[in-house]
Structures are given as C-alpha cells and as structure tokens.
Amino acid sequence: MPFEVQATCGRARAGVLSTPHGPVETPAFIPVGTRGSVRGILPAQLLDAGARILLANAYHLFLRPGDQVVRDLGGLHGFTGWKGPWLTDSGGFQVFSLGELVKVVEEGVHFKSPIDGSAHFLTPEDSIRIQEDLGADIIMAFDECVRQPATAEQTRAAVDRTIRWARRCRDAHRKDGQLLFGIVQGGTDASERERCARPLLELDFPGYAVGGLSVGEDREAMLQTLDFTEALLPRGRPRYFMGLGKPEDLLDAIRRGIDMFDCVIGTRNGRHGTVFTSEGPLHLRNKRFERDRGPLDPLCGCPACRGFSRAYLSHLYKAEEMLGPILGSLHNTWHLVGLVRRAREQILDGTFR
C-alpha cells in the first residue's frame, strides 16, 4: 500500500502517503482550490507556505469549464500550474447542499446548475469518470451526506445509499495509480457509522474519509463521533477528515489519529478580515487595530507578517483594497499548514501534546 506510518505519539500518527506526483507527509492540511485555484494565492506562494497537496471539486469543474476541457489541457496538473498532488472531492456534498434543486434516485442525482439553471444527472459512475478526467492523484467515492440534525430514518437511508454507491464507484474506477478513498457516513450515530464502515473495509479502499461531520452538529458530538469512527478504520490506511479547518479542531483530530484535513475556512476568513494567530483569532476590522504597529503574528514568517502591520491590514479591509484579503488568506494558509506541520514534527520526536 502507498501509505506508511512512520511514528506514533499516543493515537497521533506521522506518516507518508505516496502519490504519482510526489509524497504527502502526514498529518497534512490541504488548502482548498475548489475551481482549480486557491483564491488569491499563487502556486509558488502555496509551496512557500509548506502546502504539498491541493483539493479541487469535481462538481464545480464539471459545470465549468467542464472535466473534458481540463482533461484535454493536461488534467489539473497541466491546466492549473500546480504540479504537486491533487485531491478531488466527488461533488456529493455540493450536490446535496443544493436543497430544492436536487432530486435523489437510486441511480444517481438530478440537479440544476446554480450557474445557469441547466439540468444535469450525476451517477456514481459519472463522478468517477469526471475525477479520472481531472487526473487527480486521490479521488473520492460518491456518497450521500446529510446535514445535522437528521432523523434516524434519514441517516439510515444515507448510509445504505453510500454503501451501494461505494461499490459502484469501486467497480467503475479504472485509472492506474489514482487512489480512490471510501467515505464513512452515519451522522453522529455510532451504530450507523459501524454499519457503514464494515462493508467499505471489505471493499479494501487505499484510504478512508470521515464524512458527514462538521456539518451542523455541536463540537462535543463531533469529537465523540470521531472517537468511535476512528476506531473502526484500518491502522495501515490514511484517514481523512473532510471539511475540518479550525486550529483547535485540527489538533483534536490529530490527537485522535486523523492524517489529512481540508477546509475553506482559512481563505474564507482571510478574505473577510479574520486571521488565525498563535494568540488566537484577530478580527482586523475592529477599531483597536487602527494604530497597531505590530505584525499579525510575531511567530509567523509569512509575507503578511514580515512586511505589514496590523494597522495597515485593518486599513486595507476597511478600504476594500484587494491586497487585504490576499494577505489575510495567505497568512491563514501559512498558519494552518504550519500548525499541522509542527504537530507532525512533534509526533516524530515524541513530544506531541
């Protein structure tokens, strides 16, 4: 298998995942480039921040510019300029987030494009084909995600469909070297999580994701669910928590043996004036920063912290200058990638707490 656990510290793990476009050292935070671009940040700047793998979304790229366009222009690696590993989400979460624009049937999902209102039908097999066209190193099975709170009946139906669709995705996948991960659903119900995990483990995916969390449940329920879900997953496969990005949540998940994470929160918050620091979050639109000469974070070496003051960043946001969101997004990416990298270093030397 392409994944090696190099060290453990409690339940926390440090490992290496091999992909066709280079290794991914874990734990790893994956910046989100939904449409093939991490907003406002150049590929070279992402490398400087320590990012080694990016995420794109199959649903969005299918709608625009089209997966076949990306395929014909060299896949994500040739199309975007990012030469390192790519991971693509199947689009399941985005489709099910469309609410009234979606109709789910056993064969797949009918939905209308939020871009132009055009009608589409997406099956698990389509999702795999699209992700193969995009050429990602890691792709995800097409699943059904339900937002919390959900009824027992809704959760049970979503688990049943996720299992059936996972088998179809496994059968449809043909691309050599591309790693297809299964997704464990089940809401916050331990029995449903176990019922979902067992048949997925029989399918022998090279990696497993924890899906359907951080979608509306409270933090305590999320961590409790993560505890019993992690225990179901095989030791020798990478574990991926989809959509997790708050600094304290990342550390709690690493403590519980999770290896990979992605979230838009860093760049989204950065665009709106909230930055993560070693002293906690700063809301730069607040008046108290108007004359603050200090850097965003004295412990950070990113371009925003090396060259600009909090006062200047505060001014940029209030004046709606585009440099503010760019620097805020860049700083948050440095912070999240660096936080997880430092956790890895501490796991390797046995000092992670």
List the catalytic residues.
Answer: 89, 262
* Cβ proximity of 165 and 144 under 8 Å: yes
**Which letter does DSSP use for residue 99 in this model?**
G
Residues in CB range of 171: below 8 A, 6 or more apart: none
Q: In this structure, what token pair is assigned to residue 344? A: 């890895």
Peptide bond into 85 cis (omega under 30): no
* CA nearest neighbour of 1 among 175, 179, 211, 242: 179
Please state, in angstroms and as integers, the Cα–Cα distance from residue 229 to each residue in 122, 239, 251, following that order: 28, 10, 17
**Long-range contacts of 77-83, Cβ-Cβ distance < 8 Å, separation of 24 or more:** 77/21, 77/135, 79/36, 80/33, 80/36, 80/37, 80/43, 80/56, 81/43, 82/33, 82/43, 82/46, 82/54, 83/21, 83/43
Rounded to 5°, angle at Cα 309 from 303 and 314: 105
| Secondary structure class of 12 (helix, strand, coil) | strand
